[in-house]
Amino acid sequence: MFPRVAWVHRGLLRSCARLPVCMSSSGIGQKGILANQVAVVTGSTDGIGFAIARRLAQDGARVVISSRKQQNVDRAVAALQGEGLSVVGTVCHVGKAEDRERLVTMVLEHCGGLDFLVCNAGVNPLVGSTLGASEQVWDKILEVNVKAPALMLSQLLPHMEKRGKGVVILVSSIAAYIPSVELGPYNVSKTALLGLTRTLSLELAPKGIRVNCLVPGVIETDFSKVIYKNEAFWNIVKENYKLQRIGQPEDCAGLVSFLCSPDASYITGESISVAGFSPHL
Amino acid sequence: MFPRVAWVHRGLLRSCARLPVCMSSSGIGQKGILANQVAVVTGSTDGIGFAIARRLAQDGARVVISSRKQQNVDRAVAALQGEGLSVVGTVCHVGKAEDRERLVTMVLEHCGGLDFLVCNAGVNPLVGSTLGASEQVWDKILEVNVKAPALMLSQLLPHMEKRGKGVVILVSSIAAYIPSVELGPYNVSKTALLGLTRTLSLELAPKGIRVNCLVPGVIETDFSKVIYKNEAFWNIVKENYKLQRIGQPEDCAGLVSFLCSPDASYITGESISVAGFSPHL
Amino acid sequence: MFPRVAWVHRGLLRSCARLPVCMSSSGIGQKGILANQVAVVTGSTDGIGFAIARRLAQDGARVVISSRKQQNVDRAVAALQGEGLSVVGTVCHVGKAEDRERLVTMVLEHCGGLDFLVCNAGVNPLVGSTLGASEQVWDKILEVNVKAPALMLSQLLPHMEKRGKGVVILVSSIAAYIPSVELGPYNVSKTALLGLTRTLSLELAPKGIRVNCLVPGVIETDFSKVIYKNEAFWNIVKENYKLQRIGQPEDCAGLVSFLCSPDASYITGESISVAGFSPHL
Amino acid sequence: MFPRVAWVHRGLLRSCARLPVCMSSSGIGQKGILANQVAVVTGSTDGIGFAIARRLAQDGARVVISSRKQQNVDRAVAALQGEGLSVVGTVCHVGKAEDRERLVTMVLEHCGGLDFLVCNAGVNPLVGSTLGASEQVWDKILEVNVKAPALMLSQLLPHMEKRGKGVVILVSSIAAYIPSVELGPYNVSKTALLGLTRTLSLELAPKGIRVNCLVPGVIETDFSKVIYKNEAFWNIVKENYKLQRIGQPEDCAGLVSFLCSPDASYITGESISVAGFSPHL
């Protein structure tokens, strides 16, 4: 019934490149608050990233999704297109320069610019202790979680600058403020993102680009299973922070939708928790 | 042309009490995201509070506005009703128990419950140095800025509890994080609000009530004139924080609208700056 | 039996006023790092305050101790003088103007100036919930915990200014950062002290006076018994923050001693935790 | 007159290995608070690191200094030995595994254990903008400033664990909290260190090892010349934060000395500014 979306991933993309891409013939979402705007969401084929991509698309944006595996990208694109959303995807390991370049090319060729960049891709946190981490583990975590968002943004920036405005959202973690011994270097990388948010926000303010940081708490995703499936521990966490429920990916998406909207146009450099409590003054 | 709003203030309120109050015959805003919900905004006859009241009303809420002077209340109610918004007002000096009681009575009698409380009323900040402040100055500032929001909420809580949910927003200031010598005890009262936000958020979580804190930066209001009218100083501030413009009351209202919405339902205890930069990690 | 102490409290003080007061004939501590300097420590007849008073005296300072009850003052003075320390005391309820005035008079008449002020006096934290607190409870807590330190400092400031330098230390609590629902307004008052520290530090910098804040965690005092005597709860806290032991009043005194020393002469406005972990980035 | 210190660097070290190394025959400093304890300070041939090394040696510790260039190490060792201090040095580029290993070997062979590790070595901050930074710049900064301290500590840990206690101090920067656009990735690396401090403090607490973070403000070193030599800018900074003077390397050393002492034995995970003001609540 749905109109086979014009937006498609990789291979197909070339063949239909002359079609007016970045536009859903269904018109769904086109009248939303983000209509005619383009978003890139990395690490967006499941969990928090997927919910963000869906939400921005529901708000009317054309969304480029990506993650490391082709089959995950295919599945996610199909699911969102099945909802009539204007979505296209590509494989992108954000730590690889050539993958980032491919993503940039897609945005450039088919969307003509970029309004929103959500950097959600990151390394799985279960890396053991900080002192037990090898050089390789450190390199991987710092590269993917800290350096990659900066490089991705550098490469996409010219397309955002063309618009004279833009919004960047980095995805940190409650572990940035409340480290878990078990998460080791992951904690450190997420604290670094709080700093990256602030320095980028100053650098990009003159270009009309805002940079904020989403700080998810315990959200019901595969990622966090190790926490909330440990009932004894989870009960202590809930009691400690008076949590009434676990967070949902959609809770994170709601904040991102707001931060992309004009309502947030004087908010930049800020880290905002979606955690059922606040970890900082 | 506009339809004689049913919501009116004080004297008139009694005479039309049998009418279905808390409802605008124009229906304007009723279909908004906050339709059929009730908001109290204190200190709302101009500046940030006024913008918040207007926005929540535009979002569909029935809004009770208030401030210390009858003529200001009259003017603000007339202005908002003139826009077809569902607004009523009362005089309320939040530091006076009887005034708070009158506000509570209005909410109780005419709205049957409360969904949102925005505590914006506060003492003018130009109080001189911290050490030069007399006992009277300290008492006034701590009472109005810190104690009054807690007491106001205590008194309104039963009506919020009836709903099984609710949102409270305290209004702090960038001075909570970056004190100005000239603002003295005002700085301290605003830092205290960051703590009040957090302790209230824990206490009210089991009741389904979220508590967050708006942290305005330099917003173009009478209140902040002393800052942005001092051109030399304002230029330094702008350069220091890479501000591209002064904030507008509507910027604050945008955040409050979001925090009252279901999109923010997993955000509580959080202090969020609307300042063109962030004052904290 | 007791060693000739020149410093004595209240009544006796008058009779020996012509003696070279503020000097211990034993000479103990006089050669310490704080020799020939004068410290006032409020709330110092037991717990953290007592340990701070003892430590500053051991470091060579002449110390004025105080608390609300004469018998506690007597006991503490006797104990410290019994150790050969240069200590005198007076009853002082910091919330009472006349009591503060009496303390100021003692400092003025017998010490000729003031170098260090440690504001430790505060209201017992077990005040129940934030929303359950009456106006009276709020008034008491804000007055004693927030307003009194500022007023005490205002009154003592002229004697500190004479020295051209000085150190003020406010005593907050880990509850400033990690509020406990049970502590209600106490949490808020302790967060306010973080702000008071910062605004005072700016105001007093030009006078050569530094202002810092001690943030005790769970310290083994009567005050904290409710926490560490609850074995189940205390075990969770210890595991959560990897605490290896409970804090001792002497741990707090060690930081205060450092902050009063020249080694800390470029540290001001800072809040430092003595808690076995850190509650903030 | 001075007794030809037993502690010497590199080449010489081998030839005198049978002598009781790690001990000054002069005995100077041996009776200090850190007597018979061993400290490693990286990046310690000038500026803040040098002042820290000197101070710990003055406190009685045997200190291993290091930096990237042999001639700087020679000069610094000679200067400190000339003061009768127990100091030895080695070339160590903390980003190189073999250099770290050489440092570890020196500690192992000649000191038999380690009590204090101060990680001061870091990349020069003048790296330009965050978005202009190449992959190489990012790699270098994250490796040297963030990864290297963790790896250095991993390698030295067995020698610290033998003591059953220890103190680690990371050196961040005020830029961790207040980023300068011009410092780019440097800001981010320094924010990361705040996180590294906290996760390490939790991981090492059970081993009796404390981890804290020194946060220098504008200190009079070559490093900061770009700030304080710009008179117009420096005047604004001073006025803004009410700074009465520029910081000295010795100010930083004073805090480190305290953190290494038993007086700080309940302080861990904490970041403490030596900046003439505080950048955080």
Helix H or strand E segment including A149: helix A148-161
**Chain A contacts to C (CB-CB under 8 A):** 176-177, 181, 191, 194, 236, 240, 242, 280-281
Binary contact (C242, D274; C-beta < 8 A): no
Q: Taking CB atoms and an 8 Å limit, are C147 and B135 in contact across chains?
A: yes
User: Is pLDDT above 90 for C261?
Assistant: yes
**Can you tell me the mean pLDDT for C82-92?**
97
D127: confidence class by pLDDT, cuts 50, 70, 90: low
The whole-number pLDDT of residue C22 equals: 36
- For residue A119, report the phi and psi dihedrals to the nearest 5 degrees: -95, 95
| Cβ–Cβ below 8 Å for C272 and D275 | no
> Rounded CA gap, A110 and C209, in Å?
62
B158-180 confidence digits (pLDDT tens): 999 999 999 999 999 999 999 99
State chain B's mean pLDDT as an integer.
Answer: 89
- The answer to whether the CB atoms of C217 and D266 lie below 8 A apart is yes
For the record, the structure tokens of C128 come out as 């129940």
Q: B138-141: long-range contacts at Cβ-Cβ below 8 A with a sequence spacing of 24 or more?
A: B138/B185, B138/C146, B138/C147, B138/C150, B138/C151, B139/C143, B139/C147, B140/B95, B141/B185, B141/B186, B141/B188, B141/B189
Which strand (E) or helix (H) includes residue C66?
Answer: strand C62-67
Residues B119 and B150: their CA atoms lie apart, in Å, by 9
Alpha carbons B108 and A251: distance in angstroms, whole number: 32
Question: Residues A177, A186, A228, A266: which is the catalytic one?
Answer: A186
Q: Which two tokens stand for residue B38?
A: 């009730």
Contact between D240 and B242 using a beta-carbon 8 Å cutoff: no
Four-residue CA torsion sign, A152, A154, A155, A157 = positive
Residue D79 neighbours by CB distance under 10 Å: 15
Rounded Cα distance between C249 and C200, Å, is 25
Contacts of A176 in chain C (CB under 8 A): 281
Strands D116-119 and D166-171: parallel
- Which residues of chain B neighbour C203 with C-beta distances below 8 Å? 129-131, 181, 184
Q: Are A121 and A42 in contact (CB under 8 A)?
A: yes
Rounded to a whole number of angstroms, the distance from the CA of A281 to the nearest CA of chain C is 7
Residue bearing the bigger pLDDT, B25 or A271: A271
Measure the CA angle with vertex C223, ends C219 and C224; round to 5°: 50
> In this structure, are residues D273 and D215 in contact, taking their beta carbons and an 8 Å threshold?
yes
User: For the purposes of burial, counting CB atoms within 10 Å of the CB of A208, is it exposed (0-12), middle (13-18) or buried (19 or more)?
Assistant: middle
Would residue C186 show up in a list of annotated catalytic residues for this protein? yes
CATH dotted code for B10-220+248-274 = 3.40.50.720
Beta carbons of A176 and D198 less than 8 Å apart:
no
Put simply, the answer to whether A198 touches B278 (Cβ < 8 Å) is yes
Catalytic residue among B186, B228, B241, B266: B186
* Complex ipTM over 0.85: yes
Spell out the SS3 assignment of B54-102.
Answer: HHHHHCCCEEEEEECCHHHHHHHHHHHHHCCCCEEEEECCCCCHHHHHH
Residues of chain D contacting residue C243, judged by C-beta atoms under 8 Å apart: 205
Instruction: Using an 8 Å CB-CB cutoff, list chain D residues near C238.
Output: none
> Residue-wise over B122-151: b if at least 16 C-beta within 10 A, else e?
bbebebebbbebeeebbbbbbbbbbbbbbb
Residue B182 CB contacts under 8 Å (≥ 6 apart), including other chains: B126, B128, B129
Radius of gyration of chain C (CA): 18
Residues of B with CB under 8 A from a CB of A: 194-195, 197-198, 201-202, 205-206, 208, 217, 241-245, 247-248, 251, 254-255, 257-258, 261-278, 280-281
Can you tell me the distance from the alpha carbon of A247 to that of B36, in angstroms, rounded to the nearest whole number? 26
Strand ranges of the sheet holding A271-274, from the earlier edge strand across to the other edge: A87-91, A62-67, A38-41, A116-119, A166-171, A209-216, A271-274
| Lowest mean pLDDT across A16-20, B265-269, C126-130, D257-261 | A16-20
Asked if pLDDT for residue C11 goes beyond 60, the answer is no
**A254–B262 CB contact, under 8 Å:** yes
Q: Which of B221, B261, B266 to substitute to test the interface with A, most A CBs within 10 Å?
A: B266
**pLDDT, tens digit, for every residue of A198-228?**
999 999 999 999 999 999 999 999 888 888 9
Of D179, D123, D126, give the one whose Cα is nearest residue D149.
D123
**pLDDT on residue B29:** 37
pLDDT band at B126 (very low <50, low <70, confident <90, very high): low
For B192, nearest residue in chain A (alpha carbons):
A281
- Judging contacts by C-beta atoms under 8 Å, the chain D residues touching residue B236 are 236, 240
Provide the residue ranges of all domains of chain B, joining segments of one domain with +.
Answer: 10-220+248-274
Query: Which residues of B have a CB under 8 Å from any CB of D?
Result: 176-177, 181, 191, 194, 236, 240, 242, 280-281
CB neighbour class for A90 (10 Å; exposed up to 12, middle 13-18, buried from 19): buried
Q: Do A187 and A175 contact (CB within 8 A), yes or no?
A: yes
Q: How close does chain D come to C18, measured CA to CA in Å?
A: 37
Q: What is the pLDDT of residue A221?
A: 94
State both tokens at C203. Answer: 């105001």
pLDDT for C124 equals: 73
pLDDT tens sequence across A11-31: 333 223 222 333 333 334 345
Contact between chains at C199 and B181 (C-beta distance less than 8 A) = yes
Q: How far is B189 from chain D (nearest CA, A)?
A: 14
Express each pLDDT in D186-245 by its tens digit: 999 999 999 999 999 999 999 999 999 999 999 999 888 888 999 999 999 999 999 999
In D, which residues are within 8 Å of A183 by CB distance? 199
Residues of C in contact with B143 (CB under 8 A): 139
Contacting chains of B (3 CB pairs or more, <8 Å) are A, C, D
Chain C residues lying within 8 Å of B132, measured CB to CB: 154
Average the pLDDT over C124-137 and give the result.
Answer: 85
CATH architecture for the domain at A10-274: 3-Layer(aba) Sandwich (3.40)
Q: Which helix (H) or strand (E) holds C216?
A: strand C209-216
Distance between CA A224 and CA A237 in Å, rounded?
13
Report CB contact under 8 Å: D281, B280: yes
**How close A123 comes to chain B (CA, Å)?**
22
| Chain C residues whose C-beta sits inside 8 Å of any chain A C-beta | 176-177, 181, 191, 194, 236, 240, 242, 280-281
pTM (two decimals): 0.91
Using CB atoms, which chains have 3+ pairs under 8 A with C? A, B, D
User: C10-221+248-274 is classed in which CATH architecture?
Assistant: 3-Layer(aba) Sandwich (3.40)
Q: Do A131 and D154 touch (CB under 8 A)?
A: yes
H or E element at residue D58: helix D47-58
Which among C255, C264, C281 has CB closest to D254?
Answer: C264
CA separation, residue B265 to residues B105, B166, B253 (Å): 28, 10, 18
Q: How confident is the model at residue A125 (pLDDT cuts 50, 70, 90)?
A: low
Q: How far apart are CA D41 and CA D54, in angstroms?
A: 10
Q: Which of D182, D181, D176, D119 is nearest to D145 (CA)?
A: D119
pLDDT value at residue A126: 65
pLDDT at B109: 84
Mean pLDDT within B194-221: 98
Question: Which residues of C lie closer than 8 Å to B, measured between beta carbons?
Answer: 97, 129-133, 135, 138-139, 142-143, 146-147, 150-151, 153-154, 157, 176, 179, 181, 183-185, 187-192, 194-196, 198-200, 202-204, 281
Check D281 against C251: CB less than 8 A apart: no
The total of other beta-carbon atoms located within 10 Å of residue C132's CB is: 12
- Alpha-carbon distance D153 to D156, whole Å? 5
> What is the SS3 assignment for C48?
helix
Q: Which of the residue ranges A83-97, B3-17, C231-245, D54-68 would you say has the lowest mean pLDDT? A: B3-17
Cβ pair D138, A150 in contact under 8 A: yes
8 Å CB contact between A254 and A58:
no
d(CA D105, CA D11): 14
Residue B105's CB: how many other CB atoms inside 10 A? Answer: 12
Residue to substitute from D142, D160, D174, interface A, most A β-carbons within 10 A: D142
> CA-to-CA distance for C249 and C235, rounded, in angstroms?
20
Residue among D201, D203, D183, D181 at smallest CA distance from D193: D201
The three-state secondary structure class of A217 is coil
Dihedral sign, CA of B173, B179, B183, B187? positive
C111 vs B95: CA distance, rounded Å: 42
Please report residues of A whose CB lies closer than 8 A to that of B242.
201-202, 205-206
3-state secondary structure chain B: CCCCCCCCCHHHHHHCCCCCCCCCCCCCCCCCCCCCCEEEECCCCCHHHHHHHHHHHHCCCEEEEEECCHHHHHHHHHHHHHCCCCEEEEECCCCCHHHHHHHHHHHHHHHCCCCEEEECCCCCCCCCCCCCCCHHHHHHHHHHHHHHHHHHHHHHHHHHHCCCCEEEEEECCHHHCCCCHHHCHHHHHHHHHHHHHHHHHHHHHHHCEEEEEEEECCECCHHHHHHHCCHHHHHHHHHHHCCCCCECHHHHHHHHHHHHCHHHCCCCCCEEEECCCCCCC
Whole-angstrom distance, CA of residue D165 vs CA of residue D161: 6
Q: Which residue in C236, C242, C281 is closest to A177 by CB distance?
A: C281
Tell me if C41 sits within 8 A of C64, measured CB to CB: yes
Cβ distance B278 to A201 less than 8 Å, yes or no, reads yes
Q: Do C281 and A191 touch (CB under 8 A)?
A: yes
From the list B58, B7, B66, B55, the residue with the least C-alpha distance to B29 is: B58
* pLDDT over 50 (residue C252): yes
Across chain A, the runs of DSSP E, i.e. the strands, are 38-41, 62-67, 87-91, 116-119, 166-171, 209-216, 271-274
d(CA C174, CA C176): 5
CB contact under 8 A, C188 and B192: yes
Question: What pLDDT is recorded for position C10?
Answer: 29
Asked if B77 and B85 touch (Cβ cutoff 8 Å), the reply is no
